């Protein structure tokens, strides 16, 4: 009898060791948008730049989505035939979204700690964003008045505030290494960091969030930028020219200093920079300087119209895939204008030289 009692105690002890609390992986999202009486609401996930529909619901009945998720991730609520979407940090929780159909940006999201963390961060950085927006308004006015002195002063102020914002963001993500929200913030702002900063961020997250989609994307971003860093040789690719003929990029490289210029007809800053590039090209094309334009356009007609209007007389390539441009992905381009300068051996020697910086560099090399 005593032996049986001890066996029972042992079995209970083993059970207490093995029956650990099960981690919750289910989420529910309840949506209540005033003014939304009909139509279809979609729950979407962004994968490789594309929105993938995960679920849908009829707006005529109470809208609710349920599913499983291992790690917190931003999903998007879209409404059929309505522009815009509602980003929401989805995690294993009961999440509620309330608001009005006509003000999707002002909806209230409760129940998600990750969403709360992101909201708090955005509130902390709002001061920077507001200051930059106000200064940019002043800059546009100064530009219209052709007040170059004031433009220069405003540019310095904007650069200083942007630098503060970047420093604040870098500090936040590096001090919150176990936060998936921090990895999301880092990825959303990756273009603000230089390669060494981005590498330290991507490699510094806690192992507990190693498999987060945002940590993985950051590591992929670092690998891409390392492959096209200054000192590396350009990467070859094939893309159609303006006559829809596939062209091997390397066939256009003629041993000259060559500016690889990523731009688009719809990009205002690109069009504003084009006269500078044209002027430098015209002055140095016979001395060993060339330009190859890579367009992120979607409309061929608008692409060709912009080439003619801006007098861009160099070679041009595009797959007309917008931000899914194969060349842009290859070179890690996520904002335009973006340029890469290579030497006669095809080695990358500079990036994003604009205005006088481009002219000064080419003059240094060829005068």
- DSSP labels, 196-219: HHHHHHHH-S-GGGTT-HHHHHHH
Task: Quote the pLDDT of residue 136.
Answer: 87
Average pLDDT, the chain: 91
325-364 pLDDT, tens digit each: 999 999 999 899 999 999 999 999 999 998 889 999 999 9
Question: Which of the four pLDDT bands, split at 50, 70 and 90, describes residue 7?
Answer: very low
Closest CA to 86 of 133, 162, 138, 33: 33
DSSP run (H or E) holding 155? helix 148-175
- Joined together, the tokens standing for residue 187 give 């990825």
% of the chain with per-residue pLDDT over 70:
94
pLDDT exceeds 50 at position 13: no
How many CA within 13 A on the CB side of residue 270? 21
Task: Quote the pLDDT of residue 22.
Answer: 54
Question: Which of the four pLDDT bands, split at 50, 70 and 90, describes residue 5?
Answer: very low
Question: Which of the four pLDDT bands, split at 50, 70 and 90, describes residue 14?
Answer: very low
Backbone φ and ψ of 345, nearest 5°: -95, 0
pLDDT exceeds 70 at position 171: yes
% of the chain with per-residue pLDDT over 90:
77
36-61 pLDDT, tens digit each: 888 899 999 998 878 899 999 998 78
Go through the domains of the chain in sequence order and give each one's CATH number. Answer: 26-111 (2.60.40), 114-227 (no CATH), 238-366 (3.40.30.10)
Question: How is residue 34 annotated by DSSP?
Answer: E
Question: Which of the four pLDDT bands, split at 50, 70 and 90, describes residue 82?
Answer: confident
Closest CA to 122 of 178, 162, 181: 181
- Which of 106-115, 131-140, 211-220, 315-324 shows the lowest mean pLDDT across its residues? 131-140
Q: What is the CA radius of gyration of the chain?
A: 26
pLDDT exceeds 50 at position 125: yes
pLDDT exceeds 80 at position 1: no
231-289 pLDDT, tens digit each: 999 999 999 999 999 999 999 998 999 999 999 999 999 999 999 999 999 999 999 99
Mean pLDDT of 14-35: 70
Task: Quote the pLDDT of residue 18.
Answer: 41
Question: Which of the four pLDDT bands, split at 50, 70 and 90, describes residue 151?
Answer: confident
- Joined together, the tokens standing for residue 353 give 């030289």
Task: Quote the pLDDT of residue 328.
Answer: 96
Contact 44, 52 (CB under 8 A): yes
Model-level pTM greater than 0.75? yes
Task: Quote the pLDDT of residue 36.
Answer: 87
């Amino acid at each position: 009898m005593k032996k049986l009692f001890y066996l029972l105690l042992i079995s209970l002890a083993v059970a207490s060791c093995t029956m650990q609390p099960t981690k919750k992986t289910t989420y529910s999202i309840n949506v209540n948008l005033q003014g939304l009486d009909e139509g279809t609401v979609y729950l979407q996930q962004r994968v490789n730049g594309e929105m993938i529909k995960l679920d849908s619901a009829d707006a005529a009945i109470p809208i609710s989505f349920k599913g499983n998720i291992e790690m917190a991730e931003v999903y998007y609520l879209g409404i059929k035939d309505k522009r815009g979407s509602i980003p929401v940090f989805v995690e294993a929780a009961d999440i509620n979204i309330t608001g009005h159909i006509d003000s999707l940006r002002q909806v209230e999201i409760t129940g998600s700690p990750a969403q709360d963390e992101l909201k708090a961060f955005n509130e902390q950085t709002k001061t920077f964003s507001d200051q930059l927006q106000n200064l940019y308004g002043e800059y546009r006015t100064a530009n219209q008045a052709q007040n170059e002195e004031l433009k220069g002063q405003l540019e310095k102020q904007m650069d200083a505030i942007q630098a503060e914002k970047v420093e604040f963001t870098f500090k936040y993500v590096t001090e919150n290494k176990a936060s998936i929200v921090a990895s999301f913030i880092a990825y959303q702002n990756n273009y603000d960091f230089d390669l060494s900063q981005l590498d330290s961020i991507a490699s510094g997250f806690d192992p507990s969030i190693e498999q987060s989609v945002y940590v993985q994307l950051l590591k992929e971003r670092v690998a891409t930028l390392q492959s096209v860093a200054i000192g590396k040789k350009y990467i070859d690719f094939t893309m159609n020219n303006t006559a829809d003929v596939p062209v091997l990029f390397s066939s256009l490289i003629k041993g000259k200093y060559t500016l690889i210029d990523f731009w688009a007809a719809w990009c205002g800053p690109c069009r504003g920079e084009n006269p500078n590039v044209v002027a430098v090209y015209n002055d140095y094309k016979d001395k060993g300087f060339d330009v190859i334009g890579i367009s992120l356009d979607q409309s061929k007609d608008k692409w060709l119209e912009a080439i003619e209007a801006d007098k861009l007389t160099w070679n041009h390539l595009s797959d007309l895939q917008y931000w899914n441009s194969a060349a842009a992905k290859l070179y890690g381009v996520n904002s335009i204008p973006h340029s890469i300068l290579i030497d006669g051996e095809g080695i990358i020697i500079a990036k994003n030289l604009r205005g006088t910086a481009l002219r000064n560099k080419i003059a240094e090399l060829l005068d």
